Structure 1
């Protein structure tokens, strides 16, 4: 059986059961573990499936992004640990970007004692927190207001970011996989792309609950990411594939 036909059968099988194990697919197709893993990697790279521990499932589509008030209550421990680890890689006198999000807000919580940074953000909660608790220089991007996420989006944000020279950008996302970052909000795409162009280094900060999800608008190829900071829940197959792409992965 040629790979394309086998991959088509894997997708058909997943429509009838939520998760299929690697061992089950090996027995079904009478091929090696390595062959099945290559099939899964190809399907994952085009956003059809996502790896789970010991197996695979269909990619989970998201159509709306949760509000800031809801997100701040979810996976609080994982976000705090990611924030601590992310703050530890910020060198003295850097210009950094904190993308809108509750994980990046945790990074802000960790750098209040510093006074050597220039911090750029499009997030109102982050800028308000830093104004009250930090003596670092702060720039807000301005732009069209996204009330749900307490941030700004669109071309004005992108124009501002393209005028800056950023040492490291900490990017958040509601959904990511081996292909890259996606979003249900089209106006966030231009912002993510501007961040990548303006920054010497791009660091994705995200807990693994968002891995394997996909939204309507592709925002950024995974190849544009230099480092991923996440928790220990990333599937081993995804971890290895990302490492093969040359991405550094730091886990809490």
Structure 2
């Protein structure tokens, strides 16, 4: 097996299982542990995994965001319910901005239900599925493609956002501590900030497991959002604290007003 193919397959294995030991990888690919060491070192340098003692993982940490394929397998039902609730704020004819997050991605079928819409996104999954969809005017944000995030980022993306204005945006975040949202990746963070600045109304879509966590970069104060959409699995104490700070919560289980 060529080195490039083996390294691609290592990421595929980690995306499915979350982590793997050095011994398991060496046995699976029938190569020496030293070869796997080199593979893991280079993949870590590319930001595609993080080394652990005796192996590697693709699971998130305060400084590392996991591969999008791994994230799409986490809290699937909750994310879909959160996205469905977020879509209640969309009206036909609106321009809607959606970021690269795995929670945001699950809003896809609910966008189709609300057409006609203009959808502005850097999310490759949404771009692929919405291309050519009747009633959807798709504005695909170009830029540098990230295999890890399955989306487009960088100066080209940010400059495009500076010239656009949306009625509503849906943003995701990998960590929330107190009344602050955080993210591990600076490029993803900058695009999210531009989307927030380029929309008239903003909603944070986030599953309850993201609360009480922190990450390397501060994204924004939660006060910039018109609403935070999560699920009733959020602890009553956390919900009460957020509401006391003047933040508006919408639970996936609530009926739209």
TM normalised by structure 1 equals: 0.72
Q: Which residue of 2 aligns with 1:239?
A: 239
Separation in structure 1 between the aligned mates of residue 230 and residue 131 of structure 2, nearest angstrom: 27
Q: Which residue of 1 aligns with 2:195?
A: 195
Which one scores higher on RCO, CA 8 angstroms, separation ≥ 6? 1
Distance 1:76 1:150, change over 3 A: same
Mapping 1:127-166, distance limit 5 Å = 127-131=127-131, 133-166=133-166
Separation in structure 1 between the aligned mates of residue 204 and residue 113 of structure 2, nearest angstrom: 23
State how many pairs are aligned: 193
1:179 matched to 2:179: yes
- Deviation for aligned residue 1:61: 5.5
- Deviation for aligned residue 1:235: 2.1
Q: Which residue of 1 aligns with 2:213?
A: 213
Q: Which residue of 2 aligns with 1:167?
A: 167
Distance 1:73 1:179, change over 3 A: same
Q: Secondary structure at the match of 2:70?
A: helix
Do the aligned partners of 2:120 and 2:138 also contact (CA within 8 Å) in 1? yes
Q: Which residue of 1 aligns with 2:123?
A: 123
1:94 matched to 2:94: yes
Do the aligned partners of 1:114 and 1:135 also contact (CA within 8 Å) in 2? no
Q: What RMSD, in angstroms, separates the aligned Cα atoms of the two structures?
A: 1.7
- Deviation for aligned residue 1:198: 1.1
- Deviation for aligned residue 1:155: 2.7
Do the aligned partners of 2:92 and 2:114 also contact (CA within 8 Å) in 1? no
Q: Secondary structure at the match of 2:157?
A: helix
Separation in structure 2 between the aligned mates of residue 135 and residue 96 of structure 1, nearest angstrom: 13
Separation in structure 2 between the aligned mates of residue 239 and residue 100 of structure 1, nearest angstrom: 26
Separation in structure 1 between the aligned mates of residue 89 and residue 218 of structure 2, nearest angstrom: 28
- Please identify, of 115-124 and 179-188, the stretch whose mean Cα deviation from structure 2 is larger: 179-188
- Please identify, of 99-108 and 234-243, the stretch whose mean Cα deviation from structure 2 is larger: 234-243
- Deviation for aligned residue 1:133: 4.6
Separation in structure 2 between the aligned mates of residue 247 and residue 187 of structure 1, nearest angstrom: 27
Q: Secondary structure at the match of 2:107?
A: helix
Do the aligned partners of 1:192 and 1:220 also contact (CA within 8 Å) in 2? no
Q: Which residue of 2 aligns with 1:53?
A: none
Q: Which residue of 2 aligns with 1:27?
A: none
Mark the runs of 5 or more structure 1 residues left unpaired by the alignment. 1-59
**Cα-to-partner distance string for 1:176-202 (whole Å, 9 max, x where unaligned):** 122322111111222122112111111
Separation in structure 1 between the aligned mates of residue 245 and residue 94 of structure 2, nearest angstrom: 26
Mark the runs of 5 or more structure 2 residues left unpaired by the alignment. 1-59, 253-257
Q: Secondary structure at the match of 1:112?
A: helix
Distance 1:243 1:235, change over 3 A: same
Separation in structure 1 between the aligned mates of residue 199 and residue 245 of structure 2, nearest angstrom: 19
Q: Secondary structure at the match of 1:200?
A: strand
